[in-house]
Amino acid sequence: MVFSSVVFLYIFLPIMLLIYFIVPKKFKNAVMILASLVFFAWGEIRYIFIMLVLAVMDFWCGKKINQYFDDKKKKRKYLWINLGVNLFILFFFKYSDFIIANINSLTGLNIPLLNIPLPIGVSFNTFQSLSYVIDVYRGTVKYEKSFYNYLTYTTLFPQIIAGPIVRYEEVDEELEDKKISLDNFSMGMKRFLIGLGKKVLIANQVGALWNVIETGGYSELTTLLSWTGIIAFALQIYFDFSGYSDMAIGLAQIFGMKFDENFNYPYISKSITEFWRRWHITLGSWFKDYVYIPLGGNRRGLAIQIRNILIVWFLTGAWHGASWNFILWGVYFGIVLILEKAFLLKVLEKLPKIVGHIYSIILILVSWAIFAFEDLAKVVEYIKAMFINQSLYNSEALYYLKNYGFIIVIGIICCVPLWKKLKEKIDKKNSVVLETITSIGYVAILVLSTASLVTDSFNPFLYFRF
């Protein structure tokens, strides 16, 4: 993993960027496609064929829907073909063993598991493909006439493994006419480095602490250690996921494209409703536009709205992984959001803001305890350790707090827009000072990240399974 990361960052990526900027405009998409295929082959070469077949099918269905746009029956047929094939691929690779295991558990059968490796980024790729064909069906975007351009879109390697989910309408013009400039290159590189620093310097470090606590004995957890562990996991998953999103957004800007933001300081939220407007923004908007609103949204009465919210959050949980803890995690948030819509938001608005922050953080941390363990018994044990524990702390808890306290504090500080506000104040007074400080910061991130990647073998990728 370490060797692959170093080779990708310091050999493959620079060579690919050099070729990309040298070749004429009409060949830039070809370079991106080739780079994407090499990237996917690096991870799992046998699934490239599936990706290419699905790209051909999506393109063909979009073309047919456009051809029969005024014939509702025919265009609906091609929409269902596309939905059926894409969802079958997603379900087959991601949920087959989950379904088989549950059938075995309920019936006492012993059907062998398939043990099929999960294709890289299958969930993100499926949602992007579906959004394109559905939007063509709705008439909100024009179908792509060039398979060359569509293949560029559907294989975009910067974001296909960890988001953000990019809709065709956001990049259709840039597939043909990319906004390449030195400013975009500079800003994109800075954004990439921020993401790299988030992932390597924070997520990996707090992740090492969580890895130790996660694999320990939950019955022996003290209150302090259980809260330290779940805070570490909360920081790890945020900086891991938002770091990959930042790197994807940065690479896209270097290529002359613009991706939507995916995170907006979610841990400063004063309610769970606000949290989900700030966390994984592109996933939330996808479910809203393609599931919640088509089901009727909030237009058909309270009972239907509650049903729709539960469906969306059941699917959101299942999207994250083929395990009951993910489904429970999704339903947990669905229930909290229903309660907030019913009365909690009105109550929170009347209370001091700090109460909303504490309320949100506690519910979020409990959610991460559900998310972190596929074994529901471990979920229960861990949450009990957080709230119902006779042992407040011990020497082990103090040891880990002493060794990882600094990086936890750094992570918490980086979760709030402190630097953003400070930057705005400095910029108004002295832009030269700001430019000097940020330049030193970016160099430091690159040097420290490189050193960490070379020397540290702990480099997990939390969102690979999604």
Residues marked as catalytic = 320
The SS3 assignment for 50 reads helix
Give the other-Cβ count within 10 Å of 23's Cβ. 13
Which tokens hold the place of 142? 């024009």
Name the burial class of residue 221, with classes exposed (0-12), middle (13-18) and buried (19+) by CB atoms within 10 angstroms of its CB: buried
- For residue 190, the Cα-to-chain-centroid distance in whole angstroms is 20
CB atoms inside a 10 Å sphere around CB 399? 11
Is the separation of the CB atoms in 104 and 87 below 8 Å?
no
189 in Cβ contact with 250 (< 8 Å): yes
* 216 three-class SS: coil
Alpha helices, H only, 68-198 = 72-107, 122-138, 147-154, 157-160, 168-176, 182-197
End-to-end alpha-carbon separation of the chain, Å? 18
Among 237, 328, 452, 415, residue whose Cα is nearest residue 229: 237
3-state secondary structure of 177: coil
Assess contact for 273 and 345: CB atoms under 8 A: yes
Distance (Å) of CA 355 to CA 192, 257, 262, 386: 35, 41, 26, 20
CA distances, 257 to each of 88, 93, 265 (Å): 31, 31, 23
**Distance between CA atoms of 41 and 243, rounded to whole angstroms?**
23
